[in-house]
Amino acid sequence: MELPQLALDAYVAISLVIATPWLYHTFSSSSKSNTHQALSTLLLLHTLYILHALFVSPPQNIFKTLGLHLTASPEALRAGVADLYGAPQNVPPHLDTLLKKLGLMDLRLIYLRFGHHVLTTCSHCQSFDDFALYAFPGPLLEYIREIAFVGLLTLPKSSTAHLRPLGLGTLLAALLAEVYWTLTAQVVIPREKDIPAVNWHDNLLQTRHTLFLLLPILLTILPSLGLHHIPILGALIPVPENSSSHSNNNTLPPAQYQLQGQTPRLPENATLSQAAKSTIDTIAHIVPTLHLLKYVHAAVMRSQDPINPNTTTAHHEREQEAEKAAQPTSSPSLHTLASTWWATEAHEGHIVRTDPTVTSVLKSVGLSLDDEQKDPTTGDILLPEGQLKTSARMAVEFLKEQGGKPSPYWV
């Protein structure tokens, strides 16, 4: 990946073209806070610094400087460096050491993987691990610096605060990807001179600086673009806590989420992710509500004629009389059939709960239906409540708590 190299005077001219409108826009408005102006100025300096690293101070590469192929002989490299400095005795000692190392093809592969600076300055490195440990602190410090800078741009209560996870996550993912590619990429030096070799160090360095250049600028302008309103991008871009965008073209029509005659509860600028979350919350409240409705209806129907253990026989007789009375010449009404069915259910349930065999079996397996008994004078518990009855009571209380109260998500 070759980037054009600029002279210093051209870089200064471009910097003035960029900085003049930037600073004018930053300090011309009195409504902007001092923090906003300071961060904008810091972003400008950061942008100019990265541009200098990309276009004025690219990574050093002795093969590109001399215009030689990676398979060039050590003598050709030494002659090229001597011509560059005027005479062999003018060659700096560190370059002389580098030329000796480049006489080995394995070290040329290290040169492509870890770069010019590592192979030139590391005097104690002998193995791959030595070069790797020596090479990683530099990029790691650059990522730490960029993480701190993104943290400054996304201060709490700022317009970009909600983008901090996106920015930091991008930098961490880029760091892991760069480490992976640096350690595992296959470095090959082609024998054909017309086929360029992949210089992994230089490519990864320029990619890293490009990310450092674009990420802070994108984090600054993303809140004003309102991309979180777009359904597909809304799942990837965090939503501001207090969104002030009211563009009708990018919001979801409230009519899709309300019944006729109801007032919408979703905000006008609600995104698809917000609507989906509200829907899930509503469903989470409706499910226990429906269960509560089902059990309450059954309990009401069964308790229309309460059953007393002392009047079981009388109740059964009244039930039989009701069944006989509910048999007119025509088909019985639905209400009559339902009342008869629920009365039978209540009678059968009472028989099961009072059957001595059933109660003894339930007690033996730890599922007693006994009521809690207390001493009327001291209030001490004489007989604890049965486990099965406690479980049933807790289930009903849960349904009452979750489904009985009005849902804040209903529209």
* Mean pLDDT per 10-residue interval, the chain, length 411 residues: 82 94 87 86 95 91 88 90 87 89 91 93 91 94 96 88 90 96 90 82 94 94 72 62 45 45 57 73 77 72 54 53 53 73 84 85 83 79 81 78 59 43
Element (H, E) at 383: strand 381-383
Six token digits for residue 132: 């790797």
Amino acid identity for residue 189 in this structure: I
Six token digits for residue 207: 């990619």
- The answer for residues whose C-beta is within 8 angstroms of residue 209's C-beta and 6 or more apart is 50, 53, 54
Q: Residue 118: name the closest of 165, 61, 173 by CA.
A: 61
pLDDT at residue 173, as a whole number? 96
Task: Determine the Cα–Cα distance for residues 406 and 277; give it in Å rounded to an integer.
Answer: 18
Place of tokens 């192979």: 119
pLDDT at residue 130, as a whole number? 94
Cβ atoms 14, 117 nearer than 8 A: no
Cβ atoms 403, 288 nearer than 8 A: yes
pLDDT at residue 355, as a whole number? 87
Burial status of residue 16 (CB atoms within 10 A of its CB: 0-12, 13-18, 19 or more): exposed
Residue ranges covered by each domain of the chain: 8-234, 280-322+335-404
Six token digits for residue 364: 């033996």
The one-character DSSP state at 403 is: I
- The answer for residues whose C-beta is within 8 angstroms of residue 304's C-beta and 6 or more apart is 339, 342, 343
Q: Is 26 helix (H, G, I), strand (E, B) or coil?
A: helix
Cβ atoms 149, 215 nearer than 8 A: no
Cβ atoms 261, 184 nearer than 8 A: no
pLDDT at residue 245, as a whole number? 41
pLDDT at residue 327, as a whole number? 52
pLDDT at residue 22, as a whole number? 92
Ramachandran area for residue 366 (φ above 0: left; ψ -120 to 50: alpha; else beta): left
pLDDT at residue 177, as a whole number? 96
Six token digits for residue 118: 């590592």
Cβ atoms 343, 319 nearer than 8 A: yes
Burial status of residue 90 (CB atoms within 10 A of its CB: 0-12, 13-18, 19 or more): exposed
